[in-house]
């Protein structure tokens, strides 16, 4: 049986002194999703930045080739960066290797996605008659 992996990293030190708590768990996957899930590892990186540098930090992070999007958000974190790589090993190059070293980044928390749900998937499910009849 094939599995997908969820791992979370919490970086609480300066970028040059990375400390992380790694939790890794395996879940079974559907056979139809194996090839897609194996081809891309998606990391959701929550970023705290020096308040006066948030726009500059966001623009710099967005220039990292493996970063597909950067969002400014409300709440405990200032930015959310979507990182997409082919292997888990590449995350070490991208997140602690480059993203955490962006001037103005003070803290990151990384979540690895183990399954993707899209609006397209939900629309397809309802079109199959899985919704309640009125």
CATH number for the domain spanning 117: value is 3.30.70.920
Expressed as residue numbers, the domain containing 123 is: 3-127
pLDDT over threshold 70, residue 132: no
Highest mean pLDDT (candidates 6-15, 35-44, 117-126): 35-44
Band (pLDDT 50/70/90 cuts) for residue 28 is very low
Asked if residue 31 has pLDDT above 70, the reply is no
Angle at 77 between CA 10 and CA 14, to 5 degrees: 45
Using one digit for the tens of pLDDT, what is the confidence trace for 53-109?
999 999 999 999 999 999 999 999 999 999 999 999 999 999 999 999 999 999 999
Q: Which residue has the higher pLDDT, 93 or 28?
A: 93
Averaged confidence pLDDT in the chain: 75
What phi, psi does 61 have (nearest 5°)? -65, -40
> What is the tally of structural domains in the chain?
1
Closest CA to 37 of 76, 2, 1, 81: 2
Helix (H) / strand (E) element for 62: namely: helix 54-62
Does 82 fall in a domain?
Answer: yes
Residue 134 falls inside a structural domain: no
The backbone region for 52, taken as left when phi is positive above 0, alpha when psi lies in -120 to 50, beta otherwise, is: alpha
DSSP secondary structure letter of residue 63: T
**pLDDT bracket for residue 122 (50, 70, 90):** low
Residue 132 lies in a domain: no
Give the per-residue pLDDT at 29: 43
Q: Within a domain: residue 20?
A: yes
**Which of 26-30, 93-97, 114-118, 128-132 has the least mean pLDDT?**
26-30
């Amino acid at each position: 049986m094939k599995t997908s992996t969820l791992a979370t990293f919490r970086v609480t030190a300066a970028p040059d002194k990375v400390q992380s708590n790694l939790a890794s768990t395996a879940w079974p996957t559907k056979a139809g999703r194996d090839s897609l899930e194996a081809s891309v590892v998606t990391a959701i990186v929550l970023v705290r930045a020096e308040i006066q540098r948030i726009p500059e930090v966001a623009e710099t992070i967005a220039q990292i080739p493996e970063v597909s999007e950067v969002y400014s958000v409300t709440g405990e974190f200032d930015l959310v960066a979507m990182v997409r790589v082919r292997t888990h090993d590449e995350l070490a190059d991208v997140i602690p290797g480059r993203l955490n070293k962006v001037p103005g980044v003070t803290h990151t928390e990384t979540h690895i996605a183990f399954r993707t749900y899209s609006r397209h998937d939900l629309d397809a499910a309802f079109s199959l008659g899985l919704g309640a009849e009125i």
